[in-house]
Structure 1
Amino acid sequence: MNKVKSLKDGLKNFKRNQILLPISVIYSFILASFLYSFNVTLPRLLSLPLLRVFIFLMLLFILFCCAYFFERFLVALMIRISSDKKKNPEKSFEYVERIVGSFVIASLIYLCLGALSLLSSQFLEPIELFIFLIVILIISIKVAFYEYAIAIDGAGVIKSFIMSWKLTENNWFNIFFLKMFFFTIYILTYFILYFVSELFLYPINFYLVTFLLTIFLKPWEISTFSIVFKNLKKERKKK
């Protein structure tokens, strides 16, 4: 598996599917709003009287659930469009409507890996925590294609994780590299902007930065992994 070629092919695929851009704008807005709500809105709510806190938290929870469902729908739609040879967004939309339930359930299961990591930090010793996080990292990369298995192949919840586990066999480090590539772009951008803001004493809105970065990075990432998913399937069939 050629990692650089995969990234180049993913970028070309993104450019061919320009419909991904407006979808990504909506997705990025939801993501930035999520981050702002957790880091800014939620702490402010907790300073209110108890009854108001309860009411606002309930409303915020309902809003988060709706936003999460819609965010998952958009991701599934971008995956489907990026892998659709016929370039028919309407058909892709109808397809995602049918599989979005499985997509959301599988996403919640995957989300539990992150929740386990956070909970474990409260109970484990540093060495134990380090080992546990390594195990979580290995598993998370092994099942990284569950979204693509559902959105492209229509696999069920359990089957999507099994399919991803098999496809990543002997390709773990390649998938890890691709994941880290996109993650590193975010981190480097934040670091550079933070340094600039400190140097010139100019405040930078990192939620806006997240929004703008994600608009372009998310569809590129999805386009890349859609191609990799299909290529790994072809390689597996040859064996």
Structure 2
Amino acid sequence: MVISKEQILDAYRFRHACKEFDPGRRIPEDDFSFILETARLSPSSYGFEPWKFVVLQNPEIREKLKAHTWGAQKTLPTASHFVLLFARTKQELLPESDYIQSIMKDVQQLPPEAAENKGRVYRKFLESDFKLLDREGATDDWAGKQTYIALGNMMTAAALIGIDSCPIEGFEQDPINRILREEGINDGESFHLVCMLAFGYRVREPRPKTRREMSEIVEWK
């Protein structure tokens, strides 16, 4: 089935950063599985999928996070589903790492010679094309950018089926990371927290969407 352009634009008009959800409404399991599948199918640089998604439904842990997440004071208690988005750390993304080697061999199923060639091209990208290895935190930031592709796809997919969402960066990193370590969610070695994403159903209609005109953001040369 082909979705019309107007249906897609309607979903973008429907989507907004929903700051409070109806706590009495739960997203059906098959709908949320669909949203997660759009994250899994999202594109990533070299197809290396440098992400992990933790669906946090435990109310006690949500309450602990709430104390240090000023951008989710109403969404954490009311969201039907609350997702923590993680990106892999630098050592996980080096060409010789167990993770990258496994992706090429077991997931992408590349023959040894093709994997070796891809690893060589990838190393050049890291070392000289983008110089990610020269700058502190650059590889982590790059992995985070990949994860934001999945973030956007999840929000759009949710909007297409009438589900609201809210991306959240308003949190204090140090105490949040401490809580995640204490709760056994993330030890900080292989992954770092990029952002949070809440899903549910709105309790009130948002104000009209505001955006600059197309002529202000697009140039044709």
- Normalised by the length of structure 2, the TM-score is 0.26
Report which of the two has the higher share of helix. 1
- Normalised by the length of structure 1, the TM-score is 0.25
Report which of the two has the higher share of strand. 2
